[in-house]
């Protein structure tokens, strides 16, 4: 992109026609330090190749098969490392110019339709859902050009009632936000703030809140909604108050699509496709934003920022969607469960943007409506942003309502291209990723926008079990994409940039890494117990590539993490979660995928709970790892941890009691280091297994099973 001086900006703004159009609505900047990174990356690659060479050249007689297993694991790690580097090779950052957009297009801004999806009033509380709805209704955007649609796949009268309350409250809330330029436009988040009442920034604002009694209005509304949820129903009097479609005069539309047991509803993808059809008959905005019900808007200027990318005269016609990162408001100081996905949001997606755009991740994404509906990119294509449909002549609101009901019926999609060539793709747990890939393969590009003030904030998992289940679904879906006809290998080759294909590999091959990680987490420690070396001796020259790769990779990882805003402790927590996900979530993802391919299971959509009891929340805020439930994943994690603990005790006995320190140091130093790090990283797990007495401890059944398995394996291996 071309950069302009302030003087040239002002001169261009005074122009008209071609002169005005020459001023870009956004700029693209390359990340600093890319050359230094590439040099470091190259040296690490040479170290990895040297490790492969060592495994091939120096095969021993003792432990030959274990050695071959180490080589295969290191080969997998090395190849996968190359994929991760592709997402760092061409990092770019986007910067929109909203003032230019306003000067040029303020009277020509397009309609924007916003889709909010929910499915379960228990797991996704209606009070949370309406705060998200109110936050997106309050965007700093012309009111007449903004429409909000709530899809309730649970068909719950509780959610409907909450939306009815929200529509009434919005008559006070939206004008207040715009009049006083309130930036935090989710009422739930706004009134939960800890604010210094004496701070001059808030004095006038809170004076007016008190005058209008906004907080009381909100608390009363929230209390009525939560009371209805607690009862599990709403009264007939409240039901009678609803006046049908006529009531949504603020373009706030509620949709509960028809479902029948004999017709598969395709989860969130089906809900999104129904919303696309219904909205096309009501508002038909050329721009569509979709957000999850827990991801409230945190930036009132987000729409204007995004339109800079879509309406730019030079590059805008290439852009299919603009993806915001997933950010969360409940992350602890040191990010206990790695919920920020910091490296993905702050580094890797910026890298994918350099190759033609990031993937679509299902929430916080602005789409061009026509690309969602299957349009292929053609050079020189332009769009009339103000094009809109009108109701049929003489058609009443009631007739419109009756007509669009058919668009949300369970039989509408039969014998159509919906879910295939039109709308979101069906048949995959991560329908968003596969949909974004298909759009990019039709010639379109996407943009990753990560502003300083985050666009959306959601609720991150507060327990280890929730985190692992969520990553199982993601990794399982990504692996299914890799094995499907939409695999980046053959579907994307020649259609999208090769660097972007490798970027997709980074996520599609998450789960197959489980086998190499499990092998590396168990076998070297067991052979350490027997005193058999699987790594070069300290005195050998072959020790250098191992030590360099380990040191360089981890030092660079820490620096990268700190530059992205993390802390040393949060980096350590990230390493723990890296290990836990690879040895549990990814393993089960691979197994489920295999069973599905064999026809023994079907993919399902798991709704992550957005509520937690007070004790769980308190432990989470104290950064105590939450176990508390019996899970097969916990049995695996505990067993691996116990194997390494027993092996470490066994080798320490040799070092301290028998006095074999020199022998251990010379022959098995790297194995001893690996085993020690694995024990150290599992300290919270040992605490949960043996020492904690709260409800978040590891269940005793898991403890017994893991200890028995670890003791049996170590004993058998020691006597073989």
Which residues have a catalytic role annotated? 153, 432
CB 360 within 8 A of CB 439: yes
Measure the CA–CA gap between 282 and 111, rounded to whole angstroms.
11
Measure the CA–CA gap between 140 and 174, rounded to whole angstroms.
10
Q: Quick one: which H or E segment has residue 146?
A: strand 146-152
Q: Is the dihedral of CA 705, 710, 711, 717 positive or negative?
A: positive
> Helix, strand or coil for residue 88?
coil
Alpha helical stretches, state H, 537-660: 543-563, 568-580, 586-597, 614-621, 632-653
For residue 143, which of 187, 167, 106, 174 has the smallest C-alpha distance?
A: 174
Residue corresponding to tokens 């755009």: 357
Measure the CA–CA gap between 632 and 686, rounded to whole angstroms.
17
Q: Which residues contact 392 (CB under 8 A, 6 or more apart)?
A: none
Q: Which residues contact 41 (CB under 8 A, 6 or more apart)?
A: 85, 88, 89
Side-chain half-sphere exposure of 647, counting CA atoms within 13 A: 34
Q: Quick one: which H or E segment has residue 94?
A: strand 92-96
Which DSSP letter does residue 453 get?
S
Residue 146 pairs in a beta bridge with 112
> Helix, strand or coil for residue 365?
strand
- Strand (E) positions, 439-545? 445-448, 456-458
Measure the CA–CA gap between 498 and 503, rounded to whole angstroms.
9
Token pair of 380 as six digits:
């020189």
User: What is the DSSP track for 277-334?
Assistant: HHHHTTT--SEEEEEETT-EE--TTHHHHHHHHHS-TTTGGGEEEEEPPPEETT--TT
CB 114 within 8 A of CB 146: yes
CB 102 within 8 A of CB 380: no
Measure the CA–CA gap between 678 and 538, rounded to whole angstroms.
21
Which DSSP letter does residue 422 get?
B
What is the C-alpha end-to-end distance of the chain, expressed in Å? 65
CB 245 within 8 A of CB 400: yes
Edge-to-edge strand list for the sheet holding 252-255: 252-255, 146-152, 112-118, 287-292, 365-368, 319-323, 445-448
The alpha carbon torsion through 587, 593, 594, 598 (nearest 10 deg) reads 160
How, if at all, do strands 287-292 and 365-368 pair? Answer: antiparallel
Q: Residue 244, by phi and psi: left (phi above 0), alpha (psi -120 to 50) or beta?
A: left
């Amino acid at each position: 992109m071309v950069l302009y001086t302030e003087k040239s900006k002002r001169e261009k703004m005074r122009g008209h026609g071609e002169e005005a159009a020459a001023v870009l609505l956004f700029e693209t900047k390359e990340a600093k330090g890319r050359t230094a990174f590439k040099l470091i990356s190259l040296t690490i690659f040479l170290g990895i190749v040297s490790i492969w060479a060592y495994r091939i050249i120096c095969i021993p007689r003792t432990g030959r098969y274990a050695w071959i297993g180490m080589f295969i694991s290191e080969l997998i790690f090395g190849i996968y490392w190359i994929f991760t580097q592709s997402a760092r090779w061409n990092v770019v950052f986007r910067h929109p110019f909203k003032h230019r957009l306003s000067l040029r297009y303020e009277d020509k801004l397009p309609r924007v339709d916003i889709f909010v999806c929910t499915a379960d009033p228990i797991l996704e509380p209606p009070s949370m859902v309406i705060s998200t709805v109110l936050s997106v209704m309050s965007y700093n955007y012309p009111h007449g050009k903004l429409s909000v649609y709530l899809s309730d796949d649970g068909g719950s009268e509780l959610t409907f009632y909450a939306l009815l309350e929200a529509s009434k409250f919005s008559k006070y809330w939206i004008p207040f936000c715009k009049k006083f330029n309130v930036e935090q436009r989710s009422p739930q988040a706004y009134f939960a703030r800890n604010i210094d009442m004496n701070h001059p920034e808030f004095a006038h604002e809170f004076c007016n809140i008190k005058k209008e009694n906004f907080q009381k209005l909100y608390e009363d509304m929230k209390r009525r909604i939560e009371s209805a949820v607690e009862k599990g129903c709403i009264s007939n009097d409240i039901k009678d108050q609803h006046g049908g479609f006529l009531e949504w005069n603020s373009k706030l539309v509620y949709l509960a699509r028809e479902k029948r047991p004999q017709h598969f509803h395709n989860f969130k993808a089906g809900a999104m496709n129904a919303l696309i059809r219904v909205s096309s008959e009501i508002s038909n905005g050329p721009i569509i934003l979709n957000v999850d019900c827990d991801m409230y808007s945190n930036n009132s200027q987000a729409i204007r920022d995004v339109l800079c990318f879509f309406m730019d005269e030079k590059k805008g016609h290439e852009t299919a969607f603009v993806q915001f990162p997933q950010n969360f408001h409940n992350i602890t100081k040191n990010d206990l469960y790695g919920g920020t996905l910091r490296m993905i949001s702050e580094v890797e997606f910026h890298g994918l943007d350099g190759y033609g755009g990031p993937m679509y991740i299902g929430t916080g994404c602005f789409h061009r409506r026509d690309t969602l509906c299957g349009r292929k990119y053609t050079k020189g294509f332009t769009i009339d942003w103000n094009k809109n449909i009108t109701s049929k002549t003489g058609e009443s609101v009631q007739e419109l309502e009756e007509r669009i009901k058919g668009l949300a019926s369970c039989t509408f999609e039969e014998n159509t291209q919906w879910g295939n060539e039109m709308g979101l793709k069906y048949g995959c747990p991560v329908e968003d990723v596969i949909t974004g890939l298909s759009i990019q393969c039709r010639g379109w590009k996407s943009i990753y926008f990560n502003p300083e003030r985050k666009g959306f904030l959601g609720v991150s998992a507060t327990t280890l079990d929730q985190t692992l289940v969520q990553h199982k679904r993601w990794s399982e879906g990504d692996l299914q994409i890799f094995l499907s006809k939409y695999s980046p290998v053959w579907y994307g080759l020649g259609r999208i940039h090769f660097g972007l294909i490798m970027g997709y590999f980074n996520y599609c091959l998450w789960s197959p890494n489980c086998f190499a990680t499990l092998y590396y987490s168990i076998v070297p420690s067991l052979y350490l117990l027997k005193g058999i070396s699987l790594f070069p001796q300290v005195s050998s020259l072959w020790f250098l590539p191992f030590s360099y790769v380990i040191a360089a990779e981890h030092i660079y990882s820490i620096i990268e993490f700190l530059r992205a805003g993390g802390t040393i402790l949060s980096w350590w927590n990230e390493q723990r979660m890296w290990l836990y996900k690879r040895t549990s979530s990814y393993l089960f993802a691979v197994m489920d995928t295999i069973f599905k391919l064999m026809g023994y299971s079907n993919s399902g959509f798991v709704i992550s709970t957005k509520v937690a009891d007070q004790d769980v929340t308190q432990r989470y805020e104290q950064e105590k790892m939450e176990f508390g439930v019996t899970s097969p994943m916990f049995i695996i994690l505990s067993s691996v941890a116990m194997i390494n603990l027993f092996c470490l005790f066994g080798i320490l006995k040799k070092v301290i009691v028998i006095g074999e320190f020199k022998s251990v140091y010379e022959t098995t130093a790297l194995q001893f280091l690996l085993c020690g790090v694995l024990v150290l990283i599992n300290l919270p797990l040992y605490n949960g297994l043996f020492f904690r007495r709260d409800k978040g401890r590891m269940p005793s059944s898991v403890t017994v099973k893991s200890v028995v398995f670890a003791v049996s394996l170590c004993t058998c291996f020691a006597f073989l």
